[in-house]
Amino acid sequence: AHQWRGVIAEYADRLPATITERVVTLREGGTPLIPAEHLSGLTGAQVHVKYEGLNPTGSFKDRGMTAAISAAAAKGAKAVICASTGNTSASAAAYATKAGMACGVLVPEGKIAMGKLSQAVAHGATLIQVDGNFDDCLDLARKLAEAYPVELVNSVNPARIEGQKTASFEVVDALGDAPDIHCLPVGNAGNITAYWKGYTEYAADGPATRRPQMFGFQAAGAAPIVLGHPVADPETIATAIRIGNPASWSQAEAARDESGGLIDSVTDEEILVAHRLLSAREGIFVEPASAASVAGLLKAHAAGRVPAGATVVCTVTGHGLKDPQWALRDASGADVEPVRVSVDVVSAAAALGLE
Binding-site residues sit at 87, 187-191, 317
Instruction: Name which position in 31, 191, 251, 259 contacts ligand F0G (CB under 6 A).
Output: 191
Tell me which amino acid residue 331 is.
A
Residue 84 binds ligand F0G, judged by CB under 6 A: yes
Kindly calculate the radius of gyration of the chain based on its CA atoms and give it in whole angstroms: 20
Given the rule CB under 6 A, which of 67-75, 93-101, 186-194, 254-262 is the region that contacts ligand F0G? 186-194
Nearer to ligand F0G, 46 or 134 (CB): 134
Q: How far is residue 309's CA from residue 104's CA, in Å, rounded to a whole number?
A: 47
Q: CB of 223: closest distance to ligand F0G in angstroms?
A: 12
Residue 272 binds ligand F0G, judged by CB under 6 A: no
Q: CB of 196: closest distance to ligand F0G in angstroms?
A: 12
Given the rule CB under 6 A, which of 10-18, 24-32, 37-45, 283-291 is the region that contacts ligand F0G? 283-291
Q: CB of 211: closest distance to ligand F0G in angstroms?
A: 19
Instruction: Name which position in 108, 115, 187, 320 contacts ligand F0G (CB under 6 A).
Output: 187
Residue 264 binds ligand F0G, judged by CB under 6 A: no
Look at the chain and count its residues.
355
Contact 265, 223 (CB under 8 A): yes
Q: CB of 105: closest distance to ligand F0G in angstroms?
A: 9
Task: Count interface residues toward ligand F0G (CB under 6 A).
Answer: 22
Q: CB of 173: closest distance to ligand F0G in angstroms?
A: 22
DSSP letter string, 165-233: THHHHHHHHHHSS--SEEEEE-SSSHHHHHHHHHHHHHHHSSS-SS-PEEEEEEEGGG-HHHHTS--SS
Q: How far is residue 8's CA from residue 166's CA, in Å, rounded to a whole number?
A: 9
Q: CB of 155: closest distance to ligand F0G in angstroms?
A: 6
Residue 265 binds ligand F0G, judged by CB under 6 A: no
**DSSP class of residue 33?**
E
Q: Which residues are annotated as a binding site for pyridoxal 5'-phosphate?
A: 87, 187-191, 317
Site for ligand F0G in 285-344 (CB under 6 A): 287, 289-290, 317-318
Contact 48, 314 (CB under 8 A): yes
Residue 240 binds ligand F0G, judged by CB under 6 A: yes
Q: What are phi and psi of 160, to 5 degrees?
A: -60, -45
Instruction: Name which position in 6, 115, 190, 244 contacts ligand F0G (CB under 6 A).
Output: 190
| Alpha-carbon torsion (239, 241, 244, 248), positive or negative | positive
Contact 24, 70 (CB under 8 A): yes
Nearer to ligand F0G, 153 or 306 (CB): 153
Q: What are phi and psi of 155, to 5 degrees?
A: -75, 0
- The residue among 115, 114, 249 whose CA lies nearest residue 190 is 249
Q: CB of 246: closest distance to ligand F0G in angstroms?
A: 7
Site for ligand F0G in 88-117 (CB under 6 A): 88
Q: How far is residue 293's CA from residue 47's CA, in Å, rounded to a whole number?
A: 12
Instruction: Name which position in 25, 31, 46, 59 contacts ligand F0G (CB under 6 A).
Output: 59
**Which residues 6+ apart lie within 8 Å of 105 measured at CB?**
81, 82, 83, 84, 88, 89, 92, 93, 120, 125, 126, 127, 128
Q: CB of 247: closest distance to ligand F0G in angstroms?
A: 8
Q: How far is residue 178's CA from residue 333's CA, in Å, rounded to a whole number?
A: 38
**Which residues 6+ apart lie within 8 Å of 258 measured at CB?**
196
Instruction: Name which position in 57, 119, 188, 236 contacts ligand F0G (CB under 6 A).
Output: 188
Residue 189 binds ligand F0G, judged by CB under 6 A: yes
Binding footprint of ligand F0G on the chain (CB under 6 A): 59, 61, 84-88, 155, 185-191, 240-241, 287, 289-290, 317-318
